[in-house]
Amino acid sequence: MTFNALGFVLANAFTQKLEDRQRATQLNLMGAMMGDSPLGLVMVASLANQTGGSGGGSGPPGPGGGSALVLVPDVRPADSYDEAAELLTGLGLKAIRADTKTEDSDIGTVLGSIPDAGELVRPGTTVTVAVSVGRPVPDVVGMDSGNATEVLRLVGFAADVYVVSHQSTGPDKVFKQDPAAGETLLFDEQPVKLWITPPKLNDGSEETGTSTTAVATVTPSQPT
């Protein structure tokens, strides 16, 4: 085979968009050597297209074949959902919040994401950010006041106790709580309100009356 100027020029037209110039030169020379063969030029054009891709870039394929994929960051160090969302949108991703009840995380804690940190996704992918809405309140209705406040204290809740007469409930029993069992508090310092019946008097009778009396708030312990 001899050097064919026409083949070289045609091959150069096929390889103009290649960023890998060394590869482009190789294909140009191949075209020059095979320029008198239509099949040779078809081979050069095919190899140039495979090398360059539809976008001509060197990054991993994304939507459309040329956009680079995005590495999902670890959002857990963020102080809030807003901060996590800002991090994601800065990388070309979308964020959506998912409120999650947890036993051991403070309200507002960013728990993680779906897809997980470290996964490669396409630009514009929606990442779900899990955010703690706090610990669910345990059910203490029916307990005596001492046990109820202790249960709340051990899981990290303060309690405000109100003494109210209630005909269908025995003495010193919780007959109502707010928030209800399974709900979460709006903020960490908000106490659980308990309504209990009056205790028995020394003569065995129960206190009567319909007035509501608030007693001292029970301070929570730190949950483990």
Low-confidence ranges of the chain (pLDDT < 50): 1, 28, 53-65, 208-216, 222-224
Backbone φ and ψ for 96, nearest 5 degrees, come out as -135, 140
Q: Which of 147, 127, 168, 149 is nearest to 215 (CA)?
A: 149
| 88, burial (CB in 10 Å: exposed 0-12, middle 13-18, buried 19+) | buried
pLDDT at 220: 56
**pLDDT recorded at residue 156:** 82
In sequence order, what are the residues at sequence separation of 6 or more whose Cβ sits closer than 8 angstroms to the Cβ of residue 159? Answer: 148, 149, 152, 153, 191, 192, 193, 194, 217, 218
Distance CA 108, CA 184 (A): 12
> Measuring CA to CA, how many Å separate 83 from each of 75, 80, 90, 114, 169?
9, 5, 11, 16, 48
Q: Which domains does the chain have, with CATH numbers?
A: 5-52 (no CATH), 70-132 (3.30.10.20), 145-214 (3.30.10)
pLDDT of residue 223: 44
DSSP 179: S
Would you state the pLDDT for residue 163?
92
Q: Tell me the C-alpha distance between 142 and 196, whole Å.
A: 9
Q: Which residues pair with 113 in a beta bridge?
A: 129
Question: Which residues, including other chains, have CB under 8 Å from residue 7's CB and lie 6 or more apart?
Answer: 31, 32, 33, 34, 35, 36, 40, 41
What is the C-alpha to C-alpha distance for residues 222 and 224, in angstroms, rounded to an integer?
6
CA–CA gap between residue 221 and residue 155 (Å, rounded): 7
d(C-alpha 206, C-alpha 199), whole Å: 6
List pLDDT tens digits, range 146-204.
999 999 988 888 899 999 888 777 889 999 999 999 888 766 668 999 999 998 765 55
Token pair, residue 160, equals 């405000």
Give me the pLDDT at residue 64, please: 47
pLDDT at residue number 140: 95
The contacts found for 56-61 with CB under 8 angstroms, 24 or more apart, are 56/17, 56/18, 56/19, 57/19, 58/19, 58/20, 60/120
What single string gives the DSSP state of each residue in 40-60? HHHHHHHHHHHHHTTT---SP
H helix count then E strand count, the chain: 5, 9
pLDDT for 54 equals: 42
Show the DSSP H helices in the chain as ranges: 5-14, 21-34, 38-52, 81-90, 145-154
